[in-house]
Amino acid sequence: MSDDIINATISIEDKHFFKHQGFDFLRIIKAMYTNIINGAKVQGASTITQQYAKNLFLDFGKTWKRKFEEAWLTIRLETQYSKEEILEGYLNTINYGGIFGIENASKYYFDKSASDLNLAEAAILAGIPKSPSNYSPLSNFEEAKKRQALILSSMVRNGFISEKDKNEAIETELILVGSNKENKSSMIMYYQDAVIHELKKLETIPKTFLEIGGLKIFTNMDPNAMKSIEDSINKNLEGNKEIQVAAIAMDPNTGAVTALTGGRDYSVSQFNRAIKSKRQVGSTMKPLLYYAALENSFTPSTTFRSEKTIFTFSEDKTYSPQNYGDEYPNKPISMATAIAYSDNIYAVKTHLFLGEETLVETAKRLGITSPIEAVPSLALGSYELNIMEMTKAYSTFANEGYNITPHLIQRVEDLEGNVLYEFKEEKELVLNKSLVYVLNELLTTTYSRDLIDYNYPTCYNISYKMTKKYAVKTGTTDTDHLIFGYNKDLIIGIWTGYDDNKPTIPSDGLAIKNAWVDSMESYLKDKEDNWYQLPSNVVGVLVDPISGKLATNNTKNKKIMYYIKGTEPTNKEASLDDSIPTVKIEE
């Protein structure tokens, strides 16, 4: 690597690096004095060796025990390795805005080897590690230039360059690339970040890289799946640079996460929304509710009247959910119609009829671990959940009832090939396969032309792109749009919204619907349509899907719906509305 990157790093991070034995005690005293005077931590005193020691740990704990471990590791580094080896290790592990190691960073930002960096480029890169989100030249060029000037000034003071060199470097034009020719993905680092997050939780992995020399990590990432998702997101969200995303693709049969992104561009924002963010999930909670309803004797033909409604409870409490666009059929509708249109009144009536604890229990059975409470609005996804746990829940429908463990890591070895960890698949049957089949068929109504009536199914506007059969559900809140969809081979979940909870607009929802279908179709383009086999105790019946009644010669819309044998519609079903005494109609 170039002398400039070495000198720039030493000058700004640890000017006494070649003189101390791992700790710069004078600097520590000065930092303590400065921080006491200011009443806050405004100056650090970690040496390059100390920072390298911290980087050698698989997590970044801040306990006193960890501090002592880092200090002991610093001493070991200084006694066992030369200064040049420590500096090389540090530069090869440091975070340059989601790009780890100076060689990778040099190729990413400037499309050249670290040995070919000029002074201006070296000073820019040396400034990033202090705060990658603030000093990346791609996301904050003005602040990066200020940091560059600060580093160049420190190099002058420390005798590495002249004042003339400094001024010329400041004036040198920077030609930023912002990609790697070997891998132009701006999202793949989110997958790596999630791998490290998972690695930290594995008890069989030693605490530090120093103990094992290094690791070989075998992941489930499928480059084709990553490319399908990234290309689809970039294409469909191109017109809105500010909005963020999280997306997960998974094999529902094994839990292998084949693709993941936690944002638009890791070099701009390293916050991994796929594993760390929780958002309201909106109507994507409804399939969990409707599975519970099917377990409790509901069928696709079970009806509730959908109209503007106030739900009243004890102590004069009320709840007034609205349908999207404030549109209501003002008549009884079937469960199939409620799913197709994502009707909120039907969902809340179902939730109250079953008892609010029923949905909580079902969600936990499906792998939801975030705290949720038995309240009326839970049916409409009012609680904040993580997209990974929602993908896990939907995978239970996609694999016909089995609870699986989402995982990115398949195996971990040391450098000698010894296996330190290997994922062991454990599947538990938690749902009724026949009822899951009925639900999966119901989730195809979201794009079925047979459900066009007083409204359009929520995903009808992307149905023309579908060459295969999928189960799909969308969800919308004031600040979020989500979609989960699957067949037997693949499940993809996508969220979009703003980090500051700024309201979204309908076109944002359309964008991720298109991103979802484009991802599915791209990845599965060479695969056969793989839908579920009809269970022996399930029958198809031709019905009017809107009313749920048996179809006649005069029926406008007809569709084959699926029922457990013995529960087929008879046109004599009693209304369930009278079973919910907490409802009154708005005048």
Does 269 have pLDDT greater than 60? yes
What is the pLDDT at residue 89?
77
The band of 576, judged by pLDDT with boundaries at 50, 70 and 90, is: confident
492 in the same domain as 348? yes
| Helix residue ranges per DSSP H, 264-383 | 273-276, 286-295, 335-341, 344-354, 356-365
149 in the same domain as 291? no
CATH of the domain at 102: 1.10.3810.10
This prediction's pTM: 0.78
301 in the same domain as 161? no
355 in the same domain as 480? yes
Higher-confidence position of 59 and 496: 496
Mean pLDDT on 500-520: 95
Does 209 have pLDDT greater than 70? no
CATH of the domain at 566: 3.40.710.10
Q: Which of 130, 150, 171 is the last residue of a domain?
A: 171
Residue 402 lies in a domain: yes
533 in the same domain as 387? yes
Q: Round to whole Å and give the CA distance between 328 and 306.
A: 6
Q: Considering Cα of 329, then 333, then 336, then 339, what sign does the dihedral take? A: positive
Does 73 have pLDDT greater than 70? no
Residue 189 lies in a domain: no
pLDDT in tens, 7-28: 888 887 777 777 776 665 555 5
The band of 237, judged by pLDDT with boundaries at 50, 70 and 90, is: very high
398 in the same domain as 534? yes
Does 585 have pLDDT greater than 90? no
Mean pLDDT on 247-264: 96
Cβ atoms within 10 Å of 440's Cβ, excluding its own: 23
Q: SS3 string of 75-98?
A: HHHHHHCCHHHHHHHHHCCCECCC
Higher-confidence position of 216 and 409: 409
Residue 233 lies in a domain: no
Does 72 have pLDDT greater than 70? no
Does 181 have pLDDT greater than 60? no
Residue 195 lies in a domain: no
Does 212 have pLDDT greater than 60? no
SS3 441: helix
Least confident segment among 53-57, 156-160, 343-347: 53-57
pLDDT in tens, 534-572: 999 999 999 999 999 999 999 999 999 999 999 999 877
Residue 450 lies in a domain: yes
Which range, 100-104, 320-324, 519-523, has the best average confidence (pLDDT)? 519-523
Q: Round to whole Å and give the CA distance between 248 and 565.
A: 36
Residue type, 151: I
* Percent of residues, the chain, with pLDDT higher than 70: 86
Q: Which of 115, 144, 171 is the last residue of a domain?
A: 171
Least confident segment among 151-155, 194-198, 323-327, 576-580: 576-580
Q: What is the number of domains present in the chain?
A: 2
Q: Round to whole Å and give the CA distance between 357 and 363.
A: 10
Query: Residue 536 belongs to what H/E stretch?
Result: none
565 in the same domain as 419? yes
- At a CB cut-off of 8 Å and minimum separation 6, what does 403 contact? 365, 366, 367, 396, 427, 428, 429, 430
CB-based contact 127:135 (threshold 8 Å): yes
Cβ atoms within 10 Å of 530's Cβ, excluding its own: 12
Catalytic residues: 13, 283
Residue 45 lies in a domain: yes
Average pLDDT, the chain: 86
562 in the same domain as 415? yes
CB-based contact 309:413 (threshold 8 Å): no
Residue type, 497: G
Residue 156 lies in a domain: yes
333 in the same domain as 461? yes
Point out which residues pair with 402 in neighbouring strands.
429
Q: Which of 113, 141, 171 is the last residue of a domain?
A: 171
CB-based contact 446:473 (threshold 8 Å): yes
Domain range enclosing 77: 3-171
- Which pair of structure tokens corresponds to residue 277? 């963010």
Least confident segment among 205-219, 279-293, 295-309: 205-219
Does 192 have pLDDT greater than 90? no
141 in the same domain as 290? no
Cβ atoms within 10 Å of 534's Cβ, excluding its own: 13
The band of 341, judged by pLDDT with boundaries at 50, 70 and 90, is: very high
317 in the same domain as 445? yes
Does 295 have pLDDT greater than 80? yes
The band of 65, judged by pLDDT with boundaries at 50, 70 and 90, is: low
Does 179 have pLDDT greater than 70? no
Environment class of 263 (CB within 10 Å of its CB; exposed 0-12, middle 13-18, buried 19+): buried
Residue 221 lies in a domain: no
Q: Round to whole Å and give the CA distance between 152 and 123.
A: 7
34, 87, 89, 151, 574 from 6: Cα distances, Å: 27, 8, 12, 12, 80
